A and B are shown apart, each in its own frame.
Chain A
């Protein structure tokens, strides 16, 4: 009985792993490019795209893994058949540049934020009057007073 339980448990644990290894057409259709239309396979109905779909289905039936199918497609059509370039050699740039760009943008923003925070506050051009509003320029104030005196007279 205990052996049977162990066997059932082992099968239950292995089942997801086995299922994950077996890809579907949909798994590959958005990771493979149709060479004549330069779109992913899922968006193409060209003759070569149809042939590639048939090839992928046949390889899935034959038990190939996702990577094995991709390798076979690359052998015939070159690396350009993959929607995402492999993470090696010159192709690494395609993966690294966005990350480097993102880090550089974050760094620039952090430096600017620090500068803004450490900058001295703007000094007001005039000291506020008793009513809280900025006081007038002394010369202007004198002229206003003169005008008021003249108006009263």
Chain B
């Protein structure tokens, strides 16, 4: 009986966690700015762990990608350019490589000369909390740690710029 109850609790947690992520997407689409979910993962190129909380005070673009994802090949150079351009103003780009081989992800990052922080989420455990359904998907977070924009699928150059400016806030 206790085992069945435990399994039901686990099921409920799973369902709630999934709906929480989708609620974030609806909230941001309605113009609200809910707090970003916690995120802490191992760096792609080492054992060090990188947490979103360590970027508090900066605007963050969180891009979920995989080396086998075709649109990611177009987004990555755009993100790298934006990182170089806005870094001095307090922008961080955080690339979350998910459901991918580490070796492929490292090769991909090398091919596009990525210098922004990259983390690896092989099992894709963060995807539900962030309301993700595919690749690529991108969130923009302001300096207070609030979600301000979301693009499902490939973003355009215009969306990237507009949302970065929104995340950075008034100069």
Known: A78-B123, A97-B3. A35 touches B99 (CB 8 A): yes
**Please, which residue of chain B has its CB at the minimum distance from the CB of A55?**
B101
Pair B125/A78 contact, Cβ less than 8 Å: yes
Question: B71 to chain A: closest CB distance in Å?
Answer: 12
A76-B102 in contact given A35-B123, A93-B3 (Cβ < 8 Å): yes
A85 within 8 A of B: no
Residue of A nearest to B69 (CB): A47
Q: Restricting to B68-82, which residues have a CB under 8 Å from any CB of A? A: 68-70
Please count how many residues in chain B sit with their CB below 8 Å of the partner chain's CB atoms.
Answer: 14
CB neighbours of B70 from chain A (8 A): 47
Interface residues of B (CB under 8 A from A): 3, 66, 68-70, 99-102, 104, 122-125
| Total A-B pairs, Cβ < 8 A | 34
The answer to whether A36 has its CB under 8 Å from any CB of chain B is: yes
CB-defined contacts of A47 to chain B, threshold 8 Å: 68-70
What is the minimal beta-carbon distance from A45 to any residue of chain B, in angstroms?
12
A77 at interface, CB cutoff 8 A: yes
- Do A35 and B68 form a contact, CB below 8 Å, given A55-B101, A77-B99? no
Nearest chain A CB to B152 CB, angstrom units: 15
Q: Does A48 contact B (CB under 8 A)?
A: yes
Across the interface, A76 reaches (CB within 8 A) one of B3, B68, B101, namely B101
Residue on A nearest B98 in the bound complex, by CB: A35
On chain B, the residues within 8 Å of A50 by CB distance are: 68
* A78 lies within 8 A of B68 (CB): no
The listed residue (A48, A75, A79, A97) touching B100 by CB distance below 8 A is: A48
- Expressed in whole angstroms, the minimum distance between the Cβ of B44 and any Cβ of chain A is 11
